Amino acid sequence: MRDSVNLVQRIERLERQNRLFKRAATVAALAVIAVVVMGQAAPRTSTVEAQKFVLKDKTGKIRAMLGEGVDNEIGLLIYDGKQRPRAMIAVDDNDLPVIRVSDDAGRERVVLDAISGVRVEGNGPRVVLGVQHGNEPALQLIDKDGWTRATLTLTNTNTAPILKFLDPRGDTRMWLGAMSDGKAQLYMMSRPERGAGVRPSWAALEVAADGTLGLRFNQAGTVWRAP
């Protein structure tokens, strides 16, 4: 009699376990179906949105960063192997595009922007290449004190290339030009003195397109010329 009771209890326990297994299997199947359906219904897109992307090399060092910089510039910053910023292309907070290249000490050596053009920095002196006054291509050589000492300009008025040399005070002392009428001119000037009635002296040499020579001198307002 006791064996019959134990057998009945074991059968009932197995039936309860079987019902639990069936319920668990049903829930698992429903979960799998839901995942598949949600995956098929999810929108497919090729756009990735983020505020910053960081690129690291195989050693874990940061080599590039795309996002917003400390100066509110949005762009791409590239680092060297020692994680020093060396190059950047960005749009600044005034919505102007700019490219910067720095040396290993962090000093900007080359800067390209839409207003100044290209600026190449030395240890004090620098070179600027750009378009001035709306439509005049120009090359400037600037000394360590910030004074422009030489310029090469293609003028907008008569499309003449003009090479100017300036003194440390910024005054033009000599210029050489090839005019649109075929005349070549060389001008040399004294330093203009500040004050009423003071006239600088100058000398000019001209060679016309037909080979005619011209020489002029101006000494305090008195002009001598030949021929």
In Å, how far from its chain's centre is CA 93?
Answer: 13
- Show the CA angle centred on residue 173, arms to residues 172 and 178, nearest 5°: 85
pTM of the model as a whole:
0.68
pLDDT exceeds 90 at position 185: yes
User: Which carries the bigger pLDDT value, residue 86 or residue 194?
Assistant: 86
Burial 184-205 (b: 16+ CB within 10 A, else e): ebebebeeeeeeeeeeeebbbe
Which distant-in-sequence residues (6+ apart) come within 8 Å of 74 by Cβ?
67, 68, 90, 91
The pLDDT score that the predictor gives to residue 144 is: 92
